[in-house]
Amino acid sequence: MSELSRHLLLKGIEEEVYTGTPDGTIVGISHRAKEALKGFQTEPDCRNAEFVSPPIRDYEELGCVLMGERRQFREWLKTEGEFTLIPGATMSTGDSTQFHISDETNPYYRYIRDTYFTRVVTASAHINIGLDDVETIMRASRLLRMEACLFLALSAASPFLDGKTTGFHSQRWAQFPHTPSYVPLFESHTDYVNFVEDAIVDGRMQNGRHLWISARPNGENVPHELNRIELRVCDRIDDPQHLIAITALTEARIHQLQDDPTLDPLVLSRIPSATRLDDLMEINDQNNQAVMKSSLNAVVRHWHDGERMEVREWLEIYYHDAMITAREYGFCNYLSPLREILDEGNVAIRWLEKHKEGKSVNRIIQDAIPEMIAAEDEHRLRVCK
């Protein structure tokens, strides 16, 4: 490991993915995968499977571990029948009128089904960045929540549901039940602990992890013991280079925050202090609404001063600043694939263009399946030894 690499933060990625057949049909099989594959987990609906990387500093190693998990999953699926992984972050070709519970004996899964039904049957990439200091984790939570719209704009990949367009670039974030319905910007670790404990007592949350927001503190014993910040807003990211690049963008922003702790919406925002918390949350909600509908084409408001700007303009600044930071820490080359998204559009934009040209939703997903496999194979051949 180089001297610069020693300064990289620990990173872990949770991937959720649909299983199905090469014709794009989504088929539930994750309950069988959990029994057969170490490190694979079920989601409440068995059409989703989840696998998680261990905490890793090096980007090449992280990418290779994730591609190894995907490959292991694909090889196992072949032993079960003609199954594969289905791209996208919502049931593009699926049936959202049915819930396929993966474990009827699990009371939490029954609660999820009975409370949210198929609104939760989505696929995403959760990016965890390790941090030692609790209040830095809280600052990171505030900053990433206020800038979550940028990561959603880059990763939006769910314009379809049940074989139709939905009017959203991220149908996943539009339908997913953000829980509890209102979560403030936590001003401290104590503030966060009190909120979670009160929410569990009054039934708004079932446990410490039932905090479904765009970015949250995370650890082995939440809310009390924390060791990382988790960015949860991203749609599933099929392309491995884009997944690593968005992870690198997240790490760059955390390095900037560590280098300058005043880079905090509660410190730098010019919103009047008397109404700052409420106004910041209003800006945050408006931005997320705009981006889940139009992603890179949206107009949003910056948390710093409330001024309107195009998402692409904000991302160009964000990308430029991140490249400077990543160069200092030795990982700028992993950021460069973001240029492709900014120049050519995210998955949702590209899929909608194909649909506008006359391709059916099923055809688009069918074509995306071998494209995803090819991107994974290319990454393994180019990077993994």
Q: Does the predicted TM-score (pTM) go above 0.85?
A: yes
The DSSP string of 277-289 is HHHHHHHHHHHHH
Single-letter amino acid, residue 42: T
Single-letter amino acid, residue 331: F
What residue spans define the domains of the chain? 5-383
- How does pLDDT run across 33-81, given as a tens digit for each residue? 988 998 899 899 999 999 999 999 999 999 999 999 999 999 999 999 9
- How does pLDDT run across 344-359, given as a tens digit for each residue? 999 999 999 999 999 9
- How does pLDDT run across 215-264, given as a tens digit for each residue? 999 999 999 999 999 999 999 999 999 999 999 999 999 999 999 999 99
278, 367 Cβ separation under 8 angstroms: no
Task: Give the E-state strand segments of the chain in sequence order.
Answer: 11-20, 40-42, 48-52, 84-86, 125-130, 160-161, 164-165, 215-218, 228-231, 299-301, 308-310
274 falls in which pLDDT band (50, 70, 90)? low
Q: Is 245 helix (H, G, I), strand (E, B) or coil?
A: helix
pLDDT value at 2 more than 70? no
Structure confidence at residue 270 (pLDDT): 85
DSSP structure class, residue 300: E
Structure confidence at residue 361 (pLDDT): 98
What is the biggest distance separating any 2 CA atoms in the chain, rounded to whole angstroms?
61
d(CA 35, CA 80): 13
Q: Is 96 helix (H, G, I), strand (E, B) or coil?
A: coil
- Domain 5-383 part of CATH 3.30.590.20: yes
CA distances from 287 to 74, 176, 216, 278, 310 (A): 37, 16, 18, 14, 11
